[in-house]
Amino acid sequence: MVNMPLAHDLLWGMTPAQLPADAPPWAIESLAVGQPVVVRRALSAEGLIAVGVRGLLREQRLAAFMRVDSIARRVSPEALCHVDSARDLPVMQALRQLRPMLDDCGWVWGISGSVGFELASGFAAMHAASDLDLILRAPQPITRHQARELVAFFDRAACRVDMQLQTPFGAVALREWASASARVLLKNAQQAQLVVDPWQPLEQAA
């Protein structure tokens, strides 16, 4: 792989043999039937990438490490923007409602969470109460006013919508950046830290 996968990318090719010896049966089954794993933010040794295995239940989540040389396929959140589903759930209604605005905003956006997982893999993960999880690639600063406008727009959707802003230094929750908090939580593979500006965290970390 020339380009290392990013957080929220879905990867195929991990086998049950790569799981820890004490991995639960549901995780072994998930990989055995060909489910992808999702890239998570964590440090990993050379040749490995931190991933999460998901089961059928919300609480079934396992942190693991996948060998980079076993990656057979990779799907990014932004590759799913125009993938649709025949399932008429609130999350899909919300996605169809928001898609034109997101396409026109000029930013690169994508779908993560259970919606992204099902759209990419075909394995059922969405349900009637699912949230719509989105990401926005934000190499340039987004103002707090812009963040509030986005939140207000999302709050008119058919379900709860959460978005992560992916800055060059890590991810920050859109709703937190839109809030009145003086500092917000910026997360990357090394740490989570409170910062004043997610685009200039080195100068203003708490």
CA atoms within 13 A on the CB side of 172: 30
What are phi and psi for residue 203, nearest 5 degrees? -90, -20
Q: How far is it, in rounded angstroms, from Cα 17 to Cα 115?
A: 27
pTM exceeding the 0.85 threshold for the entire prediction: yes
Confidence (pLDDT) at 2: 47
List the catalytic residue out of 133, 155, 162, 197.
133
DSSP run (H or E) holding 156: none
Instruction: Give the chain's residues under pLDDT 50.
Output: 1-2, 205-206
Q: How far is residue 122 from each of residues 101, 153, 163, measured CA to CA in Å?
A: 26, 29, 23
Question: First and final CA of the chain: distance in angstroms?
Answer: 36
Q: How far is it, in rounded angstroms, from Cα 122 to Cα 140?
A: 34
Confidence (pLDDT) at 195: 94
88 counts as catalytic: no
197 counts as catalytic: no
Is residue 9 within 8 Å of residue 75, measured between CB atoms?
yes
Task: List the alpha helices (DSSP H) in the chain.
Answer: 25-32, 90-104, 113-121, 144-154, 174-177, 201-204
Q: Is 106 exposed, middle or buried (0-12, 13-18, 19+ CB in 10 A)?
A: exposed
SS3 content of the chain, % helix, strand, coil (to 5): 30, 25, 45
Query: What is the side-by-side order of every strand in the sheet holding 170-173?
Result: 108-111, 132-137, 161-167, 170-173, 184-187, 192-195
List the catalytic residue out of 9, 69, 84, 131.
131
Confidence (pLDDT) at 191: 86
Of 43, 41, 38, the closest CA to residue 75 belongs to: 38
Confidence (pLDDT) at 175: 97
